[in-house]
Amino acid sequence: MPDVLPVRKRPATVQAMIWDGTPECATEIVNWILRNGGVATYRCNGEQCSRKAEDHHLLISTLEGAHRADPGYWIVRGVRGEFYGCRPDIAAETYEILDGASVD
């Protein structure tokens, strides 16, 4: 049986956008994904659209299949150009915003 080894994840710089839940921000994110060869859509949570921002989600095609991203999620473009959503709590533990940028 192989030994369990302590390892450190290699640092890598990736790109991310944080979805604030608005349709305008969703449009920017979906267009960013589409321009870069990915697939994403902005969807209603229910059968009938309430037109409220909080009742929508993004659906992103990932390497593992379709992934739902809710408002507040970070949408990440990974080291190989792949896109995925990341919960805000996980993103805060995993990613550091560079170049003096801030999250408003």
Burial of 53 per CB tally in 10 Å (0-12, 13-18, 19+): middle
Instruction: Say whether pTM exceeds 0.75.
Output: yes
Amino acid of residue 18: I
Residue 10's pLDDT is: 87
* 64 to 24, 30, 58, 61, 80: CA distances (angstroms): 27, 18, 16, 8, 14
Q: Which amino acid is at 26?
A: A
pLDDT tens digits, 14-58? 999 999 999 999 999 999 999 999 999 999 887 777 776 677 899
Q: Which amino acid is at 96?
A: E
Asked if residue 103 has pLDDT above 70, the reply is no
Distance CA(7)–CA(54), nearest Å, equals 39
pLDDT at 8 (0 to 100): 87
**pLDDT digits 0-9 by tens, 57-83:** 999 999 899 999 999 999 999 999 999
